[in-house]
Structure 1
Amino acid sequence: MLLVNLFLVICFQMCCNLIHQTNVARLGQVSQSSKYGNAKPENAIDGNRASNFNQGSCACTNNNLNPWWRLDLLKTYKINTVTITNRQDCCPERINGAEIRIGNSLNDNGNANPRCAVISSIAAGASQTFACNGMEGRYINIVIPGRTEYLTLCEVEVDGTLSETNVARLGQVAQSSTYGNAKPENAIDGNRASNYNQGSCACTNNNLNPWWRLDLLKTYKINTVTITNRQDCCPERINGAEIRIGNSLNDNGNANPRCAVISSIAAGASQTFACNGMEGRYINIVIPGRTEYLTLCEVEVDGTQLDSYNESECSWV
C-alpha cells in the first residue's frame, strides 16, 4: 500500500510539472509579414535556440516597414512570460524597440492588441525573458513599429496556461420564444459574430420578460459571464437585462440570485460581468418588467465545476 501511495504521489507531481513547464509556443501556428530567403516563421518555434543565422533556425522578415511575426495559440492562454533569442552573428540592434503584443484580436494583423513589453535591446545571441503577468490572449505578436527593418527571431518561447474553458459550450439552452431561426444555441456556438444576418445570434420574440437560459447540467462556481451584443441594430435592447445564477427552476430560473444588471453594452461589443464564484447550474439572462426582444450574439461563462480537479492549482477543489 505504501508503494502504491508513493507511485500516485510521483505521478501527481509529474502531472503538475508538465502542466507548468510546457513551452506552449510549440502548440501554435505562426506567420509573419514577409519572409527573407528560407527564414520561415516556423523556425522561431522549432525548439532550437541556435542563433547563428546560417544554422537555419531563425525566422526573418524582409526589410519592411512595421515588420511583424505572429503566434496563434489556437485557444486563449494566460501568458506568464515570453522569451526571445536574438541573432548572434550580426545586427543584434535590429530587435531594439520591438514590442510584444498579446490578445484575441486580429485588427492590424494582431499588432493592435495590448502591449506586454517593449524590447529595449537583447545582446547578440542572448535569450531574454519578458514578464506578461497573466495577460490573456490567443495571439502573440512581435512587431517593430514605425521603422523599416528586418525582424529576426531565433527562438520564441511562451510560458502560459490555458485559460478556463468556456463552460457555456458544455451545456444546454432554452429561451422564452424564438424569433425566426435565431435559436438559443446560437449564443453558445463559439462565434462572436454580431451582425444578425450572419446567423450566430439568439433572439426571442417581442415578449414581456423575455429570457434565455443555460443549463450547465451540474453545479459550477461562476467567475464571469461575457455577453456579446448585436452590432447592426438596436444595441439598447439589452439595457436593463439581468444575469441570474442558481439551482432553481422557479419562474424558469429567473428567480435565482442576481449576478449583475446590464446597464448597456455597446453595439457589437463583448462585456464581462464578474459573478465572484456564485454557484449554480442555471444561468439566466432576462429582461424583467418590459416587452422586448432579447438578442444575444454570444454568451461565454468562465467557471469551475464543483468537486472537480483544478489543474491550474494541482489540487482537488
Structure 2
Amino acid sequence: MDLNNITGVVVTNRIDCCPGQIDGAEIRIGNSLDNNGNNNPICAVISGIPAGRSVSYSCSDMEGRYVNVVIPGDSKNLTLCEVRIYGTDNVKLTGNAVQSSVFQYFWSAERAVDGIKLAPDEATYCAHTNEENSPWWRLDLLDEYYISAVTITNRAGGHSGRINGAEIRIGNSLENNGNNNPRCAVVQSIPAGGSLSYFFPHTKGRYVNVIIPGVKKILTLCEVEVYGILPVRKNFVRMKFVSTSDPENDKLLSQLQSALASRGITGVTLSWTKPPQREQKRDVEEGPCQIIQ
C-alpha cells in the first residue's frame, strides 16, 4: 500500500482447531523493510482471539507503508483468516447529536462530538444521561455514509464500568429513536479515560446510535468518532444535443464536462452507458394537404 496513516487493523482467527496459535502475535507498522518489516514499530500485541472471531486493534494514526503480523519465537505457526486495514481514506464524519436525557444542563449530547477526549474531572466534557431505562445517544450524519469505524472514549475516574454492554447501532431508520437499526458491535469494556475503536465492513447508514439496554442505566460518552466515506451516487440522464463532433470520439465527453464546469457544476464524472448515435433524419415528401370532411 502507499504511505498512509493507519487507524486500525482487524484480525480474524481460524475457526477450527488451535485458535491459541495466534496468541502473542505482534502487529507492526512502518516504512522499513529491515528484517522483512518486522522491526517496524508495534501497533498492538494479540493476547487472544476466540475461534472464528474478529478483534479490532486501534493504531492511533501510525504512519507506514507496510503492515506486518509476526509471532516471535521458535516453532510457531501463523494462521490469518482475514486481515483488514483501515486508514485515513475514511474521513471523520460530523452531524447533529441528541440523547435520551441530559444529566444537568452541561452534559449534553454535543459534548461527545466536541473534539475533547480528555475528561480530567471524570465526566467533564462528556455526554451524560440521567439514570433511566435503556439510555441512548444518537448522531445524525445528515446523509447516508459507508461507515467503517466508530471510536468511543470512556470517562476517566470512577464509574468507567457503566459503558459495559453498550451497543453500537447503525442504519437509516428512526424507529424507536434509531435503536432498532442493526447492531454492529457491543462494548465489553473500555478502560477509564481510554479509547477503543470498533471496525465494520463499510456498514451503510445515516444514524449512529449508542444504547445501553436494561433497567436503571446511565450512559456517559466522552467522545464518539465516526469514520466513513460518502457513497458514490450514479445518475442516468438521457440527452439529445447538437454537435459537430464524432459521437464515438472521446473528446465529446470532455466537452460536455467542460460545459457543466462553466455553469458551476463540478465534481461530476461523465461516462456513456451506451455509445451515442446520430439521429437519422427522415425525408418527408411535400404534397397537397387532404381535407377530411
TM-score by length of 2: 0.51
Deviations 1:170-203 (A, max 9, x none): 2100000011211111111112113345732111
2:206 aligned partner: 281
Task: Give the match's secondary structure for 1:237.
Answer: helix
Candidates 126, 130, 135, aligned match of 1:201: 126
In the other structure, the counterpart of 1:215 is 140
Deviations 1:96-122 (A, max 9, x none): xxx97698xxxxxxxxx99x9xxxxxx
1:242 aligns with 2:167: yes
Residue 266 of structure 1, CA deviation: 1.3
Which of the residues 189, 198, 216 maps onto 1:291?
Answer: 216
- What amino acid is the match of 1:274? F
Amino acid at match of 1:175: Q
- Name the Cα RMSD after superposition: 3.5
| 2:164 maps to 1:231 | no
Which of 66, 73, 83 is 1:133 aligned to? 66
In the alignment, structure 1 residue 179 sits paired with structure 2 residue 107: no
For residues 90 and 133 of structure 2, what CA distance do their matches in structure 1 show? 35
The answer on whether the counterparts of 1:228 and 1:297 sit within 8 Å (CA) in structure 2 is: yes
CA distance in 1, matches of 2:124, 2:233: 35
Structure 1 unaligned blocks of 5 or more: 1-19, 25-78, 83-98, 104-112, 117-129, 136-160, 310-314
Tell me the SS of whatever aligns to 2:199.
strand
In 2, the alpha carbon distance for the partners of 1:21 and 1:276 equals 22
Q: Distance in 2 between matches of 1:303 and 1:276?
A: 10
Cα 1:295–1:198 change in 2 (3 A) is closer
Amino acid of the residue matched to residue 100 of structure 2? S
Distance 1:282 1:196, change over 3 A: farther
Task: Spell out structure 1 runs of 4+ moving beyond 4 A.
Answer: 99-103
Work out which of the residue numbers 161, 166, 190 in structure 1 matches 2:92. 166
8 Å CA contact 1:194, 1:228 repeated in 2: no
Give the alignment of 1:1-317 within 5 angstroms: 81=31, 132-133=65-66, 162=88, 164-167=90-93, 170-180=94-104, 181-196=106-121, 199-307=124-232
CA distance in 2, matches of 1:305, 1:212: 22
2:112 alignment partner, SS class: helix
Cα separation, partners in 2 of 1:301 and 1:21, compared to 1, 3 Å: closer
Larger radius of gyration: 2
Q: Does the 8 A contact of 2:133 with 2:214 survive in 1?
A: yes
Secondary structure of the equivalent of 1:207? coil
Deviation at 1:275, TM superposition (A): 2.0
- For this pair of structures, how many residues does the alignment match? 172
Look up the equivalent residue of 1:133 and give its one-letter code: Y
Q: Which structure: greater strand fraction? A: 1
Is there any run of 5+ residues in structure 2 with no aligned partner, and where? 6-28, 33-38, 44-58, 69-86, 235-267, 270-293
Give the helix-richer structure, 1 or 2. Answer: 1
